Chains A and B, each alone.
Chain A
Amino acid sequence: MDMQISQASKGDRDARSAASIGAMSREQLILQLSAIAGPSYLQAGLRALASYAGASHYLLARCDLIQENGLDFVVACDWPFDLVRRLAPELTSGYGRTGELEKCMALFQPSAAVLPDDVELPEGVGRQYYAMTFNVGRTRFSLLLLTRDSVPFLLERLRDVGLLSGYLASFTRCVEVRSERDFDLTERELECLFWIAEGKTSDEIAMILGISRNTINNYITSVMRKTATKTRSEAIAFAVRNNLV
């Protein structure tokens, strides 16, 4: 019951902020963001950014975690849980389809998509949603915004939204988790991977790094063991996919 009430009051707040959307300038937004502090600053900040764009709900995801099972990739979100759970597999399957270069060119470029017909949406939320990516360090984030039927979505504001989301995410520790997930590869191993991806042979790398060819081969074997890959090609593919090189 309490939950319903808080939901309802949240709805009111949404409606109010929606009404004032046209008036919110970038300066006001920045003022609002600068004033945010405390443990839930990311949520509060994203909420402000969503309403600046005329969106009703936000979901911030870490793209590098999307391939895995579960919902770990969600960093912050105010979507209904059912909707996140329903959409997760679609995000997972959609993410692998574009190449890295294409992704690099798509920074802050919003793409529109439509939610499937069979999902239940919060009152007043439209089926159209927008997604956009940005990077903080080596971590690529995806920001998904739900729209409201009654409020115009301000596409031209999304670059600001992406940028400021990136600023907010720069403060979080969620970015740093990445280094622990670098699959425990040593610096030497990463260095070898880099040169192999550049097309160098073991002999050439031995020359470049000034260590013996056998040592290089040992490093590579150890990389394949740690990343559970069977061939050199697969190890490089793995490294490229995970932005290790």
Chain B
Amino acid sequence: MRYQPDRTTGTPAETRLTRSGRISGRSDLFPKLVSMLKLIDAQHFAVYRLHGSGLPHKQRLVCELDNWGSANSVVGKAFVDAYSDALIEHIEKSMLPLMWNGRDSDSTAETLDFASFTQRLKPHLVPFAGVAFPVRLGSVGNGYVVFTAKFMDLASDMIVELHGRCCQLMMELLSLDERRSQAAEALSEREIVCLQLAGDGRISEEIAEKLGLSVHTVNAYLGSATIKLDSVNRIQAIAKAIRFGYIS
């Protein structure tokens, strides 16, 4: 079996993969996915993440890892075309796993004892059956881990086990991203104070008065913080500082 991340999608997220350090990290996730795959005797896996604005209909699913293989990239696209809207809508309100049946009548995904805790996607849209585990981490790193097969029958115990592992995997994927951004210099105390006050709605003059500094110094601090946070302006810097936990 070959495990080649699908590059044919050519999205910005994919091109960023070429930076050093990340590919080796991501490759560590493949064995975990393969062992999950084997547990349920599935054929393929794929990890999707949500990209784009906070509004559901502006978001899209981007494939981060998969074993469709180059020959099967068409299949991956068919899956996204068929289900991405439903998947994006679902993750906005629910944590329940999704299952769907394939095009042929004998291509089904079943769970006898867990039907009440799973939801069904529209059947017969793609040539394979499968299960998609939604993982919602918070404001970043959300997405799905998907397993497909001609036929699958999952016991409740297995679904819970797999979903738990999927959550772990998505956190590891996110931590790989962040290892990169944390390489940036740490913010100084003054920079953090200025960012915090700016985020609280103070203008530079007010911050300067409060801290006993000149306006220019305050702006310099905010400027250096903006650079360290790899942002283009102070507003983006504030947004990032909150997400990274520098300020509250």
The chain A residues found within 8 Å of chain B, CB to CB, are: 26-27, 30-31, 33-34, 96-105, 107-108, 134-138, 140, 159-160, 163-164, 166-167, 169-170, 175-176, 187, 190-191, 194-199, 201, 229-234, 236-237, 239-241, 243-245
Contact = CB atoms under 8 A, between A and B. Distances in A.
10 contacts: A99-B244, A100-B139, A105-B178, A176-B93, A195-B53, A201-B233, A229-B201, A237-B199, A240-B243, A245-B53
B189 interface: no
A152 B180 CA distance: 40
A229 B238 CA distance: 15
Contact of B199 (A98, A137, A169, A233): A233
Contacts of A232: 235
A202 B26 CA distance: 37
Nearest to A195: B53
Interface of B: 53-55, 58, 91-96, 113-114, 116-117, 135-141, 156-157, 160-161, 163-164, 167-168, 171, 174-175, 178, 198-203, 231-236, 238-239, 242-246, 248
A190 B54 CA distance: 8
A245 B114 CA distance: 34
Contacts of A98: 245
Contacts of B116: 34
Contact of A233 (B135, B161, B232, B238): B238
B97 to A, nearest CB: 9
A237 B198 CA distance: 9
B215 to A, nearest CB: 15
Contact of A31 (B113, B137, B139, B232): B113
A243 B139 CA distance: 6
A136 B164 contact: no
A137 B91 contact: yes
Contacts of A137: 91-94, 136
Nearest to A109: B171
B187 to A, nearest CB: 12
Instruction: Name A's interface SS.
Output: helix
A108 B160 CA distance: 13
B156 A167 contact: no
A237 B171 CA distance: 24
A136 B94 contact: yes
A136 B93 contact: yes
A163 B164 contact: yes
B138 A104 contact: yes
B95 A134 contact: yes
Nearest to B248: A96
A33 B91 CA distance: 22
A239 B200 CA distance: 12
Nearest to B140: A104
A190 B58 CA distance: 11
A108 B239 CA distance: 25
Contacts of A30: 113-114, 156-157, 160
A170 B134 CA distance: 12
